[in-house]
Amino acid sequence: MPSTSSHTVKNGDAQISYRATGEGPPVLLLHPFPANHELWLPVAEALASRYRFILPDLRGHGDSEVGDGPATMEKHAADIARVMDDADVGRAPLIGVSIGGYALFEFWRRYRGRAAALGLMNTKAGADSPEARSGRLQAANDVLERGTETFFQSMIPRLLGKTTRETRPDLVDGALRMLRKMSPEDVAQVQRGMAERPDSIDTLKTVNVRTLIITGDEDILTGVNEAEVMHQQISGSQLRVIPKAGHYSPWEQPEEVTKLLRQFLDSSL
C-alpha cells in the first residue's frame, strides 16, 4: 500500500495542514471553496501507485487556519510554496479546482519556476464583477451574523451538478460534511479574499507549461464558456468537458477525472 501521512506547517500567521499520499513523482492537488483536501481523495487514491500527491487544505479550509484578515490569493500562493518546501518538492505539476485555480494564477505570477504543468479545473481567470464582489462581501457578513448552515445549503445546488444531486445523495452528504468544517470566520475571510482577487486574463498569455483545462457540463458557476476563454489564451492547452459533472467535478466524476489526469500527468512528467 502506498504510504499516507498528515503534516502541518506554519506560514506567516496560519498553520497550514496537508496530506501526502502515494509513491512517485510529486503532484499538488488544490481543492475548491468551501471544501478541503478530502474532495481529491478518490482521485489521489486511484493514482497513488503512480504519483506522490500533496493535498493541502487551503488557508481557512479543512484543518488549516485562516490567519488574520482576508485570505488573499497572495497568501494562498505563499502557503502553497511553503507546503512544497516542507514536502521537499522543488517543482511539480499543480492542479487546482475553483479557488484552487485562482490561487494557481497568483502562484504562477510569483513562483512560476516551480510549476512543471498546470491543471485548471472548474475555474475562471476573470476577477469578480461588481455584483459578484458585492455578493461575496454580503455573504461574509451574513455568515458572521447568522452562522454557516443556510449558506452551505444554498451553495449545494451551485456546487454540485443536477445529475449528482438527483442520483448521488451520498456525494451531497459528503460535500456538506466537508463544508461544515469551515467556521463563520473562515468562510467570511476566504470570501473577502476571493472578492479582492486580481483579474488574471492577461496572465493566461504568459503560461508556457503544459496546461489541462477541465470543466463539467453542468457547472453553472464557471462552466464551458469560462474554460473556452482560458483555452483560447493559453497556447497549446487542452480542454476537456466532463459529462454529468458540476463545479466539484473530481468529487462528482472521480473515474473520469482520474483517467484525464493520468493521461495528462503521464505525458507531462
Percent of the chain with pLDDT over 70: 100
Tell me, what's the pLDDT at 268? 86
Write a three-state SS string for 190-234.
Answer: HHHHHHCCCCCHHHHCCCCCEEEEEEECCCCCCHHHHHHHHHHHC
Listed as own residue / partner, the contacts of 167-173 with beta carbons closer than 8 Å and 24 or more positions apart are: 168/252, 171/251, 171/252
Tell me, what's the pLDDT at 222? 97
Instruction: Please write the tens of the pLDDT for every residue from 70-122.
Output: 999 999 999 999 999 999 999 999 999 999 999 999 999 999 999 999 999 99
Q: Amino acid identity, residue 188? A: A
Going from N- to C-terminal start, the domains of the chain cover 4-268
Spatial contact of 20 and 4, defined as CB atoms under 8 Å apart = yes
Mean pLDDT of the chain, nearest integer: 97
Domain 4-268: give its CATH superfamily. Answer: Alpha/Beta hydrolase fold, catalytic domain (3.40.50.1820)
Q: Is the pLDDT of residue 269 over 90?
A: no
Instruction: Please write the tens of the pLDDT for every residue from 205-232.
Output: 999 999 999 999 999 999 999 999 999 9
- 159-169 average pLDDT score: 98
Q: What grid cell was written down for 159?
A: 456546487
**Predicted structure pTM score:** 0.98
Beta bridge partners of 15: 10
